[in-house]
Amino acid sequence: MIPYGKQNIDNDDIKSVVDVMQSDFLTQGPMTPLFEEELQSFCQAEFAVATINATSALHLACLSIGITKGDLVWTSPISFVASANCVKYCGGEVDFVDIDSKTNNMSIDSLEEKLILAKQKDRLPKAIIPVHLSGQSCDMKKIHDLSKLYGFKIIEDASHGIGGEYDGIPIGSCKYSDITVFSFHPVKIITTCEGGGLYDK
């Protein structure tokens, strides 16, 4: 069988888990805030919240920017279903922006063309969810510039992106977005066995 992914768990990781299991705190306690603080510092973000997975982090991100029934959100067609489902959980509507054939990330040209047409139809998106495929960042400067012109919020789906950089700064800093979401699933860059988080400026 060809494995989908293979995590690297060493003895220090196992000892850390055993220490928590033998402590007074299993579901709450000092480790989660410590994890949040470390990642907040690493990403140069202002706020960080750990979640049970990136799907719930994306859902919370949509709720926090006020996605509700009838709101339109655009994302990439090349992603896990959570990038679109998070909008549906809030009663919103999802549409997709074509990808760039070289990067497989959201195409800036396609996004701009779609925004021009959407403005003509008076049906602009409330938010865009660009997906950093395989850890490669989307062109966030250009997406951010378009957000200023067309008035949409930006949620970065950086499930694959922890440890990456864009424009010399860590993915997750939210310099060019409102919220960034990470995944800590076993097939991602780092794992907490399951888990996710959202980061804000």
Which CATH number fits the domain that encloses residue 105?
Answer: 3.40.640.10
Number of domains in the chain: 1
| pLDDT score, position 137 | 96
Q: Beta-carbon neighbour count of residue 6 at 10 Å? A: 8
pLDDT at 72 over 90: yes
pLDDT digits (tens, 9 = 90+) for 110-146: 999 999 999 999 999 999 999 999 889 999 999 999 9
Domain range for 70 is: 50-200
Tally the residues of the chain.
201
Determine the longest span between alpha carbons in the chain, in angstroms. 61
pLDDT at 50 over 80: yes
Q: Is residue 33 part of a domain?
A: no
Q: Is residue 23 part of a domain?
A: no
